[in-house]
Amino acid sequence: MDSTSGFGELSDIDRSELQMAYGACVADIELFTRQQWWAGAYALVIYALLLAGVHQLVDPITEGGVRHWVLVVITWAICLYGLLAIKRMQISIVVGRRRLDRVRAHFGRAFQEIWSIARPREDIHRMLYGVMVLGAVLVTWMALDKAYAVSLPLSGPTPLP
């Protein structure tokens, strides 16, 4: 690290603390990103289990109960919980990035020049939001289709009788 960044001379203790802070922030961001992926993967596994439940528990011939609605409510509860978990982790990632920016402000000119090269935004959490919602919509549709023979409003050729 270069001490000519405009913040005066850094002591050895300051340098080691900045290195520790940098390492801790990077580790936190990595952990929260990994947890976002795990939340999405767990939601997909639960959706698959709910689909198995739809095929095992919902019988359109004898269905007079509310089993399919219970499965739909569970599906959307999982979806909302997953979305909130991913959002909370995203907030932690943003906080970690802000901390990194503060630590990097103390680095030298050479580092600042290299770091100033533009890079694309990392918005993977938005893709995970979409996967969560799409999975919940599909499970809901499958449950209602099994119980009430609700088909998707897709235009296409109709089968001949």
Tell me the per-residue pLDDT of 107-161, one tens digit each, with 9 for 90 and over: 888 887 887 787 777 788 999 999 999 999 999 988 888 777 766 566 656 555 5
Provide the pLDDT confidence category of residue 39 given band limits of 50, 70 and 90: very high
**Which residue has 């979806």 as its token pair?**
79
Percent of the chain surpassing pLDDT 90: 41
Provide the pLDDT confidence category of residue 5 given band limits of 50, 70 and 90: very low
DSSP state of 65: S
Q: Which residues contact 46 (CB under 8 A, 6 or more apart)?
A: 78
Dihedral sign (CA 42, 47, 50, 51): negative
Distance CA 111, CA 43 (A): 40
- The per-residue pLDDT for 85 is 94
DSSP for 60-108, written as a single string: TTT--SSHHHHHHHHHHHHHHHHHHHHHHHHHHHHHHHHHHHHHHTTS-
Phi, psi of 102 (to 5 degrees): -65, -40
- The per-residue pLDDT for 6 is 45
Neighbours of 108 (CB within 10 A): 13
Cα-based torsion angle of the residue sequence 142, 143, 149, 155 in order, rounded to the nearest 10 degrees: -30
Provide the pLDDT confidence category of residue 103 given band limits of 50, 70 and 90: confident
Provide the pLDDT confidence category of residue 40 given band limits of 50, 70 and 90: very high
Phi, psi of 65 (to 5 degrees): -95, -155
Which stretch of 3-12, 68-77, 121-130 has the lowest confidence by average pLDDT?
Answer: 3-12
Residue 22 pLDDT greater than 80, yes or no: yes
- The per-residue pLDDT for 122 is 77
Which stretch of 1-10, 29-38, 42-51, 106-115 has the lowest confidence by average pLDDT?
Answer: 1-10
- The per-residue pLDDT for 68 is 81
- Cα 158 to chain centroid distance, Å, stands at 38
Neighbours of 117 (CB within 10 A): 6
